[in-house]
A and B are shown apart, each in its own frame.
Chain A
């Protein structure tokens, strides 16, 4: 297990930034994508389980989804699919795969699903220091 697995380090938090993309028409008529920061906060991350961790023989495929667990907050609860999650100190960009859910229904904790499938150009745009 690596350090990023919440199950081995439940108190580890990553500062995550959530960026909203928007398509902007430039003066020359080109379409460009711009990003605006929606929310930033500390989140615990659970990495996908590998097949031998899943106690279900019918699920041969390993999971793809990372979970972020964090403090509930109005803007954080508005995070939806299509946004991008940047974890600056990991130099990593994830795609948000669904709306932030308050599974416990108490406006305290939030669960956000993210997937590690972001194309290189977007990653480079969101993390200029990557290259």
Chain B
């Protein structure tokens, strides 16, 4: 399924990585929390950024806020209950919602035509999608495009188990920073895997249209 994650729209690391978090990570990897970050043997912010991306990939849920573009088949909106589940966590806003018409021009679905339920798993609902997509070009494989923003707004919004998982992962990547193997993180600590999976996005309807593109969760 064509999917595009716009990492250039990713929120700054400082939106969720607070000073307290950085200090606790420093303590966790064996330094005094007051040690200046530039004295550490690794770039701690870079390390945390890597951890966040790895965790995002494996939880199927975005931690740092960013925009996602899904291109979907018409069938995605043909469910009996009229719901379409959006992957990658809580949706803060839908930027564009468009489709290709029969004459190959682009039509837009107005936000007043559907309802967004932001609670996880986020979903959009319309009473009759067939009416909204009346002139859709259903010969094309992926006529519908949805762009939306997901991710946690602040440190406080992230589940504590995910925070703990990130700390364990940061310790692991710091401790084995020169390990060379086929995948850079082929073996991960069990504590991390367990805590990460507590907040796994495991709604099958939400992952249905991204399952081919998105990395499978490693149970290592």
Contacts and interface: CB of A to CB of B under 8 A. Distances in A.
A118 interface: no
Contacts of A119: none
Interface stretch (B28-36, B61-69, B100-108, B201-209): B28-36
Interface in A27-44: 40-42
A74 B39 contact: yes
Interface in A69-117: 70-75, 106-107
B32 A107 contact: no
A15 B35 CA distance: 12
B40 interface: yes
Given A71-B29, A72-B41, A73-B39, 19 more contacts: A13-B30, A15-B32, A40-B32, A40-B35, A41-B30, A41-B31, A41-B32, A41-B35, A42-B30, A42-B32, A70-B30, A71-B31, A73-B31, A73-B35, A73-B40, A73-B41, A74-B39, A74-B41, A107-B41
Interface of B: 29-32, 34-35, 39-41, 178
A71 B178 CA distance: 15
A49 B80 CA distance: 77
A40 B40 CA distance: 12
A13 B29 CA distance: 13
Interface string A13-34: 1010000000000000000000
A14 to B, nearest CB: 11
Interface residues of A, number: 13
A88 to B, nearest CB: 12
Nearest to A71: B30
Contacts of A107: 41
A42 B41 contact: no
Contacts of B35: 40-41, 73
B76 to A, nearest CB: 50
Contacts of A71: 29-31
A106 B31 CA distance: 17
Contacts of B31: 41-42, 71, 73
A43 to B, nearest CB: 10
Interface string A39-53: 011100000000000
Contacts of B30: 13, 41-42, 70-71
Nearest to B38: A74
Nearest to B178: A106
A41 B35 CA distance: 8
Contacts of B29: 71
Contacts of A41: 30-32, 35
6 contacts: A13-B30, A41-B30, A41-B32, A41-B35, A70-B30, A71-B29
A75 B39 contact: yes
Nearest to B177: A108
A74 B30 CA distance: 14
Contacts of A13: 30
A74 B41 CA distance: 7
B22 to A, nearest CB: 16
A8 B45 CA distance: 35
A15 B27 CA distance: 11
